[in-house]
Amino acid sequence: MVGYLNEIERLIHLLTRLPGIGPRSAQRIAFFIANSPVDYKKELIDVISSISQSVKKCRICHNFSNEDICFLCRSKDRDNSIICVVEKPQDLIAIENSGGFKGRYYVLYNLLSPIDNIMPEDVDIEGLIKAIEFFGVKEVLLALKSSVEGEATSLFISERLKDRDLTITRLATGLPMGGEIEYIDERTIFEAIRGRKPIEK
């Protein structure tokens, strides 16, 4: 990048690796940061440093946490009979904010996608099984996005759990095809949870 200082060039490169940030957006953000007051830059550095040092994944549900076991898994007010499987922490937050779910959660992070080289071994089913056994779960609610990857992952999980004494359900129809759970309004999520349907074994 002709005319850029090495530090700004490196920052632009790192920013383009963020989801939804292209080269032009990365350039605008990099120059905004470079032109910001020292106090703002220091606060930004401190927050990123703090995340890298103190934020980890809960050893039960894999949601982000400051502790080995997150506050949701520690809570005694949750329904142990049902666990909601989501793709990412943002989906967990969206479902929790809908007020329609009071059970346990499990975050996958990966959905099956051969084109992206995400294979069955990259989807942590063993961690899910451990969470199911830990809480004594009776129902597994698959709250994955309506996409080829989401459907394939739902079928894969259902197949892996079919020999267990579990009811496996999915969110009711009404969610937009390909829609990300985190961007769907709370009322739609609430109704999708309330109207969840069993998956045939």
pTM of this prediction exceeds 0.85: no
Q: Which of 83-92, 117-126, 141-150, 165-174 has the highest mean pLDDT?
A: 83-92
Which residue carries 């943002």 as its tokens?
Answer: 90
Can you give the pLDDT at residue 115? 83
Contact yes or no for 157/128 (Cβ under 8 A): yes
- Express each pLDDT in 4-36 by its tens digit: 678 899 999 999 999 889 999 999 999 999 999
For residues 102 and 82, what is the distance between their CA atoms, to the nearest angstrom?
9
Of 197 and 86, the one with more pLDDT: 86
Domains of the chain by start residue, with CATH: 6-54 (1.10.8.420), 72-198 (3.40.1360.10)
Query: Are β-strands 167-170 and 197-198 bridged in parallel, bridged antiparallel, or unpaired?
Result: antiparallel
Residue 106: pLDDT band (50, 70, 90) is very high
Contact yes or no for 194/98 (Cβ under 8 A): no
Can you give the pLDDT at residue 1? 47
Query: How wide is the angle at C-alpha 125 spanned by C-alphas 174 and 92, nearest 5°?
Result: 45
Question: What totals of helices (H) and strands (E) does the chain contain, helices first?
Answer: 8, 7
Q: How far is CA 105 from CA 27, 40, 102, 115, in A?
A: 37, 35, 9, 27
